[in-house]
Amino acid sequence: MQTRFSQLSHHLYVHYGHVNTGILRDGDRALLIDPSGTSLHTTLAELEIANVEQVLFTHHHRDSAVGFPISDNVRVGVPAKETAWFSEPEIFWNDPQYRWHLYNYHPHNLMLTDAISVTDTYTEGVQFEWDPASLTVLETPGHTDGSVTYLIDVDGERFAFTGDLIYDEGQLWELYSLQKGQQTSDYHGFLGAHDELSESLEKVRHVSPTALIPTHGVVMDNPDRAIDALLQQLAHCYDRYVAISALRHYFPKLFAEFEGHAGHMLIREGKPPPEFLRHFGTTWMIISENDEAFVMDCGSPNVIKQIQRLQADGEISEITQFWVTHYHDDHVDAIPEFQETFPCETITDSVVERVITNPIGFRLPCISPSVTRVDRITRDGDSWQWNEFTMTAYHFPGQTYYHGGLLVEGRGVRMFFAGDSFTMAGIDDYCSGNRNLLGKDVGYEKCLRRIQQLKPTHIFNCHVDPAFDFTDAEMQCMLDTLAEREECYTELFPWDHANYGMDEHWVRCYPYEQEIALGETTQLRVEITNHSSEPRTAVAQPILPSAWNIELPSAETTIPARSEGHIDFSVPIPKHRDALGKRVVVPVDIIYDERPLGQFREAIFVLTGG
C-alpha cells in the first residue's frame, strides 16, 4: 500500500493522492499546493490541521485542481497568465474555436468545469511570506503556457513544487501537453514545447532546490541528476522523431539543426503522377478511359468549381464514386456541398465512417462539424471494380488512427492513395492528438508493413503534387526508427508502454458531445484502450453537476491485453427548466490498473427542450 503522505521538513509535508499536494503546516493551520481529491481530508485530519488558510495552484489542468472543496474564506493563488481558466472556464467551453477546427492546443481541454474564485495572481519573481516560510514564484512554462513553480524556503532548505515539468529522473507524465507550434500552428508542433520546458527546468536548477516535488510523480532529492536525465531523454526522443518526419518536406527550416544527423532518412525525389490523374487542393481525381471520374476528398468549395470546370471543358463526364481518406477538416469541410452537387456513391473505411457521419461525437485535431453521408463502408481488403481499375480499401492508421488507404490497380500502375500519411521525407506523425500509436501491427508500423506487402509503384499524399515511393532500405529505416521510438518513449513515461503517454485519447467518451432533452435518460460510453501486454482493470465514474443531486455509481471492466474496452452509463437528465440550452461539461474520474487519474476526460451534454 502506498504511503499516504511524507514529511520533507519540520513544517512541510507531501500528500500522495492521484496527484501530490504540498502541505505547509504551522500548528493547526496550513497552506496547500495543488490540492485535489477527497483522500487529502484524511491526511489533514491526521496532521490535526483544522484551518486551510491559503491554496496555490501551479497550472490550470482539471486533474490537479478539483475534488477538494475550498472554503470562501481561503485565499486562492494562481499563475497570472492562467487566471481566466480558473475564474471563467465557461469561456473555453462555450467558444466554438475551442471545439471545432482544432489546430491549437493551448489552452488544453483538461480544463476546469466549475470556476474557482481567485484572490491572488502570481508573476515571475513574486515573493510572499507564510510563516514560517518564504515563497517565491518562478514562471516555468512548458506543460502549460502559464505554469509556475513555487519555491518554498523553510526549515533551512529550499523545495521546488514544479507542477508537471517533470515526473521523475528522465521522465514526464505525458507529452501531448507539449504539442506546440513553432513556425506554424500547434497542430504541427509535436514536442514543440520541449525547448520551453527545458529552459524552465534549467531555471529551476539555477535556484538550487533541495528537492523537486512534481504534481504527478515522485519527490526527487537530486534535482541536477533528475533534470539532466530528462533533458537527455527528451533530446534523444525528439531526434528519433525528426529522423523520419514527413514535416521535413513541408518545413525544412524547422529542422535545419538536424541536417546531416546520423540515422536520419534522406528526403527522396518525387516522380510525376500518371497522366489520368488530377490534383487540386487536398483532392485527387482519377479519370477513366470512358471519362468518368473517381474523386477523393473535398475540403473546399473550390474543388467543386474545379470539377465543374473540367466537366464544362469536356475532360470528364460524371463523378461516379467518391472516397474519403480521413476526417480532417481540410478533407471533409465541403463534402455536404459536394454530395448535393454530385450525387455519386460515397465510400470510406469503417473507422473513418464513425467520425465523419457523427463528428459531434468526437473531439479530435482538425475536427469538422460537417456531416458526411456514407453509402458503402469498407473493411481491410474489400475490393471492387471501377471501370478499368481494381480498387482495394484498407484501414490505414497513419497520420491519424481514423484513416483509410486505397490501392488502385490498372493501366500498368499500382497506385496507393495514403491520404496525408507520408511525404518523401517520411511519416506524418507530427500531432500527438492524431493517435499515432507505437508497436507491432498498430500505427505506422502497420502502415509500413502494408506498403511492403502491396509494393505500389506510386504513393500519393493529398497535399503533395508529385508521386513518390520508398526503397527497401528506406522502409527498413522507418521501421527500425519506430522500434527505437517505442523503446525510448516507453522509458520517458511512468507506464509500461509509450502509448499511454503519447495517445491522448487512450481514454475517451463517446459520444463526446450530444444533445439531450430535459427529463430524458441518455447513454454515455467511456472507451479505453489497453496498450499493455497484460489485461488491465479500469474504473470510471461520470461526475454530474452538484445541482442535479444525482451521483452515478462507479463501474469497472477488465480489458484484455492490447485491445479496446468500454464502460457504459445511463445518465438521467433533470427537468429543471433553468438548465435549458446549457452546455454541461461532465468530467469522468478514472482509476486504471489501480492508479487513480482524477477527472481525466470529459463529455458534453447540450440540454434541449425536447
The 10s digit of each residue's pLDDT in 535-579 is 999 999 999 999 899 999 999 999 999 999 999 999 999 987 777
The domains of the chain, with CATH numbers, are 5-242 (3.60.15.10), 277-499 (3.60.15.10), 506-608 (2.60.40.10)
191 and 237 Cβ atoms separated by less than 8 Å:
yes
Whole-number Å distance between alpha carbons of 111 and 90: 9
What pLDDT is stored for residue 178 in this prediction?
97
The yes-or-no verdict on residue 610 having pLDDT over 80 is no
In 135-222, where does DSSP find H-type helix? 194-206
The 10s digit of each residue's pLDDT in 328-343 is 999 999 999 999 999 9
Coil, strand or helix at 3: coil
The yes-or-no verdict on residue 391 having pLDDT over 60 is yes
- Give the pLDDT band (50/70/90) at residue 1: very low
Task: Look at the block and give the residue holding cell 500505427.
Answer: 443
Mean pLDDT value of segment 268-296: 97
The yes-or-no verdict on residue 397 having pLDDT over 80 is yes
Mean pLDDT of the chain: 96
In 394-437, where does DSSP find H-type helix? none
Smallest Cα–Cα separation from 404: which of 414, 391, 418, 425?
A: 418
Which range (9-23, 290-304, 579-593) has the least confidence? 579-593
Q: Which three cell numbers, joined as nine digits, stand for 273?
A: 503522377
Smallest Cα–Cα separation from 68: which of 107, 14, 13, 18?
A: 18
The yes-or-no verdict on residue 59 having pLDDT over 80 is yes
Whole-number Å distance between alpha carbons of 406 and 296: 10
β-strands 127-130, 583-592: how paired?
unpaired
- Give the pLDDT band (50/70/90) at residue 38: confident
Q: Across the strands, what pairs with 20? A: 16
- The sign of the torsion formed by the CA atoms of 258, 259, 262, 267 equals positive
Q: Which three cell numbers, joined as nine digits, stand for 263?
A: 540515422
In 243-364, where does DSSP find H-type helix? 247-250, 301-312, 329-332, 335-341, 350-356
What pLDDT is stored for residue 370 in this prediction?
98
The 10s digit of each residue's pLDDT in 572-587 is 999 877 777 789 999 9
Q: What are phi and psi of 135, to 5 degrees?
A: -120, 140
Q: Which three cell numbers, joined as nine digits, stand for 475?
A: 522502409
Please give the C-alpha separations between residue 502 and each of 20, 186, 245, in angstroms, as whole numbers.
Answer: 22, 16, 16
- For the packed helices 194-206 and 223-242, what is the interaxial angle rounded to 10 degrees? 170
- Give the pLDDT band (50/70/90) at residue 2: low
Q: Across the strands, what pairs with 460? A: 417
The 10s digit of each residue's pLDDT in 205-252 is 999 999 999 999 999 999 999 999 999 999 999 999 999 999 999 998
